[in-house]
Amino acid sequence: MIEFRGVTKRFPDGTEAVADFNLVLPSRKTTVFVGSSGCGKTTLLRMINRMIDPTEGQILIDDVDVASRNKVELRRSIGYVLQASGLLPHRKVIDNVATVPVLLGTSKSEARAAALELLDKVGLDRSLAHRYPRQLSGGQQQRVGVARALASDPNILLMDEPFGAVDPIVRDDLQVELNRLQRELGKTIVFVTHDIDEAFVLADQVVILKKGGVIAQVGTPAEILAAPADDFVASFIGAEKGKRALHLQQRADDKGLTLVVDGDGRPVGVLGSADGTGTSSS
């Protein structure tokens, strides 16, 4: 469990990125921070692994204040995936994935063997292991980024707009794959995006943020879709950019499945699937 207690972040130039933020992120669930640019999502994420330290308040992981942890150790114990994949350009895919385990003391051959298994896990062919990152597509690079973040078998995975730079079709694939992986691995995932559709597809808990890290609403996708807290949320999840009005549709013949459909009645996802594993993409 990750807990934010009264967390404020003021940067030296006076910008208050986050003000008195309080939230519990349950273990083994996916929490998605969603909001428009500059609302404080990345700042919140980076305070979890101490890339940024709060000005006030505490962040606890399983009841231990991260401020009491060694920064380097803490960072290595938490997986981190970035939009620009963050891969080392002069290292082959296999060695990118093996980097952290080797730093933590695993032998190179063991780490490489484990890296190949991780490539399987994230749906990449092992034949790509000896390529350099520039020889991969954007979507493949992001999969390597996920494999690398999982290499030290962290309990927590931080993901900062990891699928933001790939085209929409690849992005859909990556979302489906992440949901599949999460069902298998059960990590505590904290995911940042400005895309509400992505949030609904991935999240157990959606946190809609306004400027200054102010929480507009927290809930499951179904709760938020069914009862937006206010006009801000309603417009954020619906008519935003004139795009489409997402809403819920109960289908009697679907054993309790609830479809998320867009303004044209086109299904975009399923909530509360029969096996109880939450949201999946159509």
For binding to ligand ATP (CB under 6 A), which residues are involved?
A: 11, 13, 15, 17, 35, 37-43, 194
Q: How far is the CB of 61 from ligand ATP (least distance, A)?
A: 20
| SS3 of residue 193 by DSSP | strand
Closer to ligand ATP by CB, 10 or 75: give it.
10
Q: How far is the CB of 56 from ligand ATP (least distance, A)?
A: 15
Positions of E strands within 11-53:
16-25, 30-34
Say how far apart CA 151 and CA 193 lie, in whole Å.
Answer: 23
Say how far apart CA 170 and CA 269 lie, in whole Å.
Answer: 16
Closest of 104, 200, 202, 93 to residue 143, by C-alpha: 93
Residue pair 204/31 in contact (Cβ under 8 Å)? The answer is yes
| SS3 of residue 62 by DSSP | coil
Query: What is the DSSP-derived secondary structure letter of residue 272?
Result: S
Q: How far is the CB of 164 from ligand ATP (least distance, A)?
A: 9
Closer to ligand ATP by CB, 10 or 247: give it.
10
Closer to ligand ATP by CB, 25 or 39: give it.
39
Q: How far is the CB of 42 from ligand ATP (least distance, A)?
A: 3
Say how far apart CA 198 and CA 2 lie, in whole Å.
Answer: 22
Q: How far is the CB of 113 from ligand ATP (least distance, A)?
A: 37
Closer to ligand ATP by CB, 146 or 208: give it.
208
Closer to ligand ATP by CB, 27 or 83: give it.
83
